[in-house]
Amino acid sequence: MVMGLMPIKIDDVCEAEVISLENEGSGVCKVKGITVFVPKTLVGEKIRFRITEIKKNFARGKLIEIQESSPDRIVSKCPYYNECGGCDLRHQNDIKNLEFKRQKVQTAISKIGKINVKVNDVLPSFKNENYRNKASFKVEEDKIGFYVNGTYQLVDVKYCMLLEKEISDTLTVIREYIKNNNNSIKQVTIKHGNAMNEILIDVYSTDKQDEKIKTYLISNVSNLKTIIFNGKVVYGNGYISQISNGLMFNCSSNSFFQVNGSMVDKLYEVAIKEAKLSKSDVVLDLYCGTGTISCIVSSCVKKVIGIEIVDDAVIDANCNARINNVSNVKFICGDATKEISKIKEKIDVIFVDPPRKGMSRDAIAIIKKMAPKKMVYISCNPVTMARDLNYLSNVYEVKKIIPIDMFPNTNHVECVCVLSLR
């Protein structure tokens, strides 16, 4: 539609009924034929909203009033919910949130993947609050918190209901420093290790001097294990430890580790069980991070090869193999697409756990040529996962898709897909 001919304009106040929820959890309404997304509304609700943004094919609105409320609506207990962009589904009950996530995966699989498989029910998280073991905060003058979704507007948060208590406690200590110092800190990342209740703090500052904040953190954060200042380890050995599936994993600041501490065991348990491994299998763990899957499966198979692009994560992975007495794994540092093309061995089973953007077409083409008999594709982005499954679908059959709620109260969902060679 040509912009000038749009039948609605910015600041128009409209009334409509929500007909569905879109991929990121906003309510979808129609106004004069235009699709409008209104966050924090639910299917069946009659709402009044203001148009805030008009694009070529759709518009966005901000809720003013719910005229008729959904029976699935609940009151959010988070005081920051209306401003902060971190959670998007705190206003809907947990059962409906799981249904939304299953449907979101099903829609991606059918529409983008063009695959005819019924997605399983979502496995719920053991914890719906206080589950995140990592958070990154923005800092502006004496404020520390998160940006409003899609903006650079900072919401000053004293705590966050998603975070493990140890992270919120550390945030309180850092907030005090920020309030009392004319500081140059721009960003702070806090990680909590469950193995020994350790805190890692990674500070980015425009100041080159670390002494003041370092001394303060050492005196005030009781379970502090390590500080990274502008990319350099300035206190401790640079990592914290996580226990998962009975093994210990060192994890440094730049290395990926699953953020929902209450569900890590379950995620790997499901993925590994579905792979139906045998003692003679040679396994490829593509996008292996700190070597979690590699080390966990190592005792059930002949050999594992892990590939990961972040060198700190590969250093962690090698260390993790050593501390867990694993001797049949080999980790390669490099880009997945480049490194798999160099593998000469016959691979029986492949685990693929890419970042949100999914896999490259070239990597998929190489895997199709390698033709391992079984593939387990783990993903936190149903859209790129569905696209990749479509590319794989002439060689691999999708047997099962198991969504797992690694991110309660948000629109996000993890999936384990089980594929076998046709």
For 198, half-sphere exposure in the C-beta direction (CA atoms, 13 angstrom radius) is: 20
Residue 309 is a binding residue for ligand SAM (CB under 6 A): yes
CA distance 213 to 227: 10
The catalytically annotated residue of 29, 84, 87, 380 is: 380
Q: Given candidates 288, 296, 366, 392, which one binds ligand SAM under the rule CB under 6 A?
A: 288
> Residues 128-137, buried b or exposed e (16+ Cβ, 10 A)?
bbbbbbbbeb
Residue 190 is a binding residue for ligand SAM (CB under 6 A): no
Q: Given candidates 305, 307, 349, 389, which one binds ligand SAM under the rule CB under 6 A?
A: 307
SS3 content of the chain, % helix, strand, coil (to 5): 25, 35, 40
Q: Given candidates 100, 239, 287, 331, which one binds ligand SAM under the rule CB under 6 A?
A: 287
Alpha-carbon dihedral 60, 61, 62, 64, rounded to 10 degrees: -170
State which of positions 11-40 bind ligand SAM (CB under 6 A).
none
CA distance 47 to 16: 6
8 A C-beta contact, residue 72 and residue 100:
no
Among the listed residues 125, 130, 95, 107, the one whose alpha carbon sits nearest the alpha carbon of residue 24:
107
Closest CB to ligand SAM among 26 and 262?
Answer: 262
Q: Map tokens 């756990």 to a residue.
A: 353
Q: Given candidates 166, 198, 308, 405, which one binds ligand SAM under the rule CB under 6 A?
A: 308
Q: How far is the CB of 356 from ligand SAM (least distance, A)?
A: 8
Give the x-and-dash track for 241-280 against ligand SAM (CB under 6 A).
Answer: ---------------xxx----------------------
Q: Given candidates 64, 310, 343, 365, which one binds ligand SAM under the rule CB under 6 A?
A: 310
> Residues 201-231, buried b or exposed e (16+ Cβ, 10 A)?
bbbbbeeeebeebbebbeeebeebbbbbbee
Closest CB to ligand SAM among 258 and 409?
Answer: 258
- Whether 380 is catalytic is yes
CA distance 89 to 291: 32
If you count them, how many residues does the chain have?
A: 422
Closest CB to ligand SAM among 29 and 251?
Answer: 251
- In 85-147 the beta strands, taken as DSSP E runs, fall at 134-140, 143-147
Closest CB to ligand SAM among 126 and 159?
Answer: 126
Give the contacts of 105 (CB within 8 A, at least 6 positions apart): 119, 382, 401, 403, 413, 415
Residue 79 is a binding residue for ligand SAM (CB under 6 A): no
Give the x-and-dash track for 345-374 against ligand SAM (CB under 6 A).
Answer: --------xxx-------------------
Closest CB to ligand SAM among 25 and 291?
Answer: 291
Q: How far is the CB of 378 from ligand SAM (least distance, A)?
A: 7
Contact residues for ligand SAM, defined by CB under 6 A: 256-258, 287-290, 292-293, 307-310, 313, 335-336, 353-355
Please identify every residue annotated as catalytic.
380
